[in-house]
Structure formats: structure tokens, C-alpha cells
């Protein structure tokens, strides 16, 4: 893990994400890229300096953003870490997914308000899209009063065959960050299986994809979100990780919306990885 992206709107929530990124970068010797997205009325990068003067309000937004970014960059660099700042201009049509690949980003770390719903409170629509479509782990942080700990991490999975590579990547990521994954299968009425069936399916999946031994924990609940939340609280987990599937048909339990609901209602950090994750 060499490069961490921290999108920021300069709120306390984004600053909490940056603080965690600093902790992680110190542990794995990674570079931090602090990004602020500015929506512009036109394709800003194609404007000349003279044309930019036609948009004084946007120029003022850019000026203020540069000051805020510089402050945060100085904080990180004072700790001896490699850091870059970046303003990303968007006209609302372009998304950040291509940027992640071009920059070889290994993880996105975002802050969440998490009180009044997910979509409107995770640094805007661009980073919301990152969560739904990213092929790398996305870590969503909430600010708290206690020092952040990352030891026991609930790793929720459905044992589907197409989750295998993502399961390996997410497990490696958790261990690299100093955590220990605790494997969870949520048994719901809509897709009910007997415990013996779950353990057989899980054993086959782990035999193919697990690098380390895992105990399978089974928790029954009305839906996946409730099961993950209740189990995480019952074992006092430090964070929750799950593999999502890009398609959201009715048969797919682990859709991106599950992550969105967890971020809204769970008072713990959440790591999400889309099942389309590529091998690195």
C-alpha cells in the first residue's frame, strides 16, 4: 500500500479521515494525496487565464481551497510523511473513478457525517460514486472522542464465487493495517440456509481463497444490515468490512446500498470493496 487518497471538503469529518490516513501512512510508509473537488460551470482545465477571469466567484473558491489544502499539507509534511495536495475540477459529468487508476491509488479514505443519511453527507456526489464503483478499498471514517483502534474487524461475506479475489485483497488490507478479520455470514429469511449448509459453503470458499485460517461466525437477522450492526456491537468490533457487488438486483444481498446503510446507522468505521476489484 503506497498511495492513500483523502478527499476533503475541509470539514471536521474530512479532517478525521485525514488523521486516520496519517496513522496508516506512518505504519505502511505510504504517500497521502489530499484532494478537494470543485464543481465549475465549464471545463475549467481548458480555460485560458483570461477566460478564468470571467468567473470571479470560482476563482475565489479556488483561492480559499488552496489555503485550506496548504494548511493540511503542512500538517502532514511536518510529520515527515510524503504528501501532495490537489484540486480536482469537475463540471458534474466527470467522475473520479478514472483518476484512481491513473494515480495508482491503493485506498480511498473518506469522512462521513453519518447522521442524516449517507448520500448527502459523504463529501458530495463524486465521492459517493467512488464508494459505489471503486475497484479499490474505500474506508469511511467517523470522528469520535476516543483514539482510533483497528484490531478486531468484522469481515462480512456471502461466500459467492465472484467475491474470492476481493476477499483476498480485503483480508490482506485489514492485516496490513494491523487488524484481524473476523469472518461473518448473516443468515436472513429471504436467503435462509441451515448452519451446516453455511459452514459447508464457507469451507469450500475458504479452501479456494483464504490465505489464513478463519472461524465462520453465523448471525441470524431480518436483513444483512441489521445482522452486521447487531453482531459488530455485540462483539465490540473496531470496524466493519464488507465486499459489495456492483449489480443491485433483488437476489444480490451485498449491494452498495448495504454499505451506505451501515455508514448511516453504525457508529464504527466501514471498509467497502467492490467485487469487481482487480488483482494488484
Q: What is the pLDDT of residue 121?
A: 45
57: CB partners within 8 A, 6+ apart: none
More confident position, 216 or 243:
216
Q: Rounded to whole angstroms, how far apart are CA atoms 23 and 218?
A: 32
Domains defined for the chain, CATH in brackets: 3-141 (3.40.50.620), 152-274 (3.40.50.620)
Half-sphere exposure of 32 (CA within 13 A, CB side): 31
How do 270-274 and 138-141 pair as beta strands?
Answer: antiparallel
| DSSP state for residue 180 in the 8-state scheme | E
Residue range 186-235, pLDDT digits in tens = 999 988 999 999 999 999 999 999 999 999 999 999 999 999 999 999 99
What's the start-to-end Cα distance of the chain, in Å? 10
Residues in the chain: 280
- pLDDT at position 1 is 82
The predicted structure's pLDDT at residue 221: 95
Grid coordinates representing 179? 487488524
Grouping H, G, I as helix, E, B as strand and the rest as coil, residue 75 is helix
Confidence of residue 98 (pLDDT cuts 50, 70, 90): confident
Which is more confidently placed, 230 or 259? 230
DSSP-derived secondary structure letter, 42: S
- Give the DSSP letter of residue 119: G
**d(C-alpha 196, C-alpha 56), whole Å:** 66
CA torsion 199-203-209-214 (nearest 10°) is 70
Which tops the pLDDT comparison, 116 or 49? Answer: 49
Cell of 261: 446503510
Q: Are 110 and 143 in contact (CB under 8 A)?
A: no
Check residue 255 and give its pLDDT.
Answer: 63
Contacts for 140 with CB less than 8 Å, ≥ 6 apart: 17, 110, 111, 112, 122, 131, 259, 263, 269, 270, 271, 272
Q: How sure is the predictor about 265, in pLDDT bands with cuts at 50, 70 and 90? A: confident
For residue 92, the SS3 value is coil
C-alpha cell at 81: 510523511
Query: The pTM is what?
Result: 0.86
pLDDT of residue 13: 86
Top pLDDT among 97 and 177 is at 177
Show Cβ contacts of residue 78 under 8 Å, excluding neighbours closer than 6 positions.
none
pLDDT in tens, 6-62: 999 898 889 999 999 999 999 889 999 999 988 888 889 899 999 999 999 999 999
Q: For residues 16 and 140, give the distance between their C-alpha atoms in angstroms, rounded to a whole number.
A: 10
Amino acid at each position: 500500500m503506497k498511495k492513500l487518497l483523502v478527499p476533503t471538503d475541509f470539514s471536521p469529518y474530512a479532517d478525521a479521515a485525514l488523521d486516520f490516513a496519517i496513522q496508516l501512512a506512518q505504519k505502511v510508509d505510504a504517500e497521502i494525496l489530499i484532494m478537494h473537488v470543485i464543481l465549475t460551470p465549464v471545463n475549467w482545465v481548458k480555460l485560458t487565464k483570461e477566460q478564468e477571469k470571467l468567473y470571479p466567484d470560482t476563482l475565489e473558491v479556488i483561492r480559499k481551497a488552496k489555503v485550506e489544502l496548504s494548511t493540511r499539507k503542512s500538517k502532514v509534511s511536518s510529520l515527515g510523511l510524503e504528501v501532495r495536495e490537489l484540486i480536482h475540477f469537475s463540471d458534474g459529468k466527470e467522475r473520479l473513478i478514472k483518476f484512481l487508476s491513473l494515480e495508482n491509488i491503493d485506498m480511498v479514505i473518506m469522512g462521513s457525517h453519518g447522521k442524516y443519511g449517507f448520500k448527502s453527507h459523504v463529501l458530495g456526489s463524486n465521492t459517493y460514486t467512488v464508494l459505489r464503483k471503486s475497484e479499490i478499498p474505500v474506508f469511511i471514517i467517523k470522528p469520535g472522542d476516543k483514539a482510533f483502534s483497528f484490531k478486531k474487524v468484522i469481515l462480512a461475506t456471502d461466500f459467492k464465487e465472484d467475491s474470492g479475489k476481493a476477499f483476498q485483497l480485503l483480508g490482506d488490507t485489514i492485516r496490513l493495517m494491523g487488524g484481524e478479520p473476523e469472518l461473518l455470514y448473516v443468515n436472513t429469511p429471504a436467503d435462509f440456509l441451515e448452519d451446516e449448509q453455511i459452514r459447508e459453503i464457507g469451507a469450500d470458499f475458504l479452501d479456494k481463497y483464504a490465505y489464513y485460517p478463519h472461524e465462520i461466525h453465523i448471525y441470524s437477522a431480518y436483513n444483512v444490515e441489521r445482522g452486521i450492526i447487531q453482531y459488530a456491537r455485540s462483539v465490540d468490533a473496531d470496524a466493519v468490512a464488507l465486499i459489495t457487488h456492483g449489480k443491485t438486483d433483488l437476489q444480490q444481498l451485498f449491494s452498495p446500498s448495504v454499505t451506505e446503510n451501515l455508514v448511516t446507522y453504525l457508529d464504527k468505521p466501514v471498509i467497502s470493496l467492490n467485487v469487481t476489484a482487480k488483482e494488484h
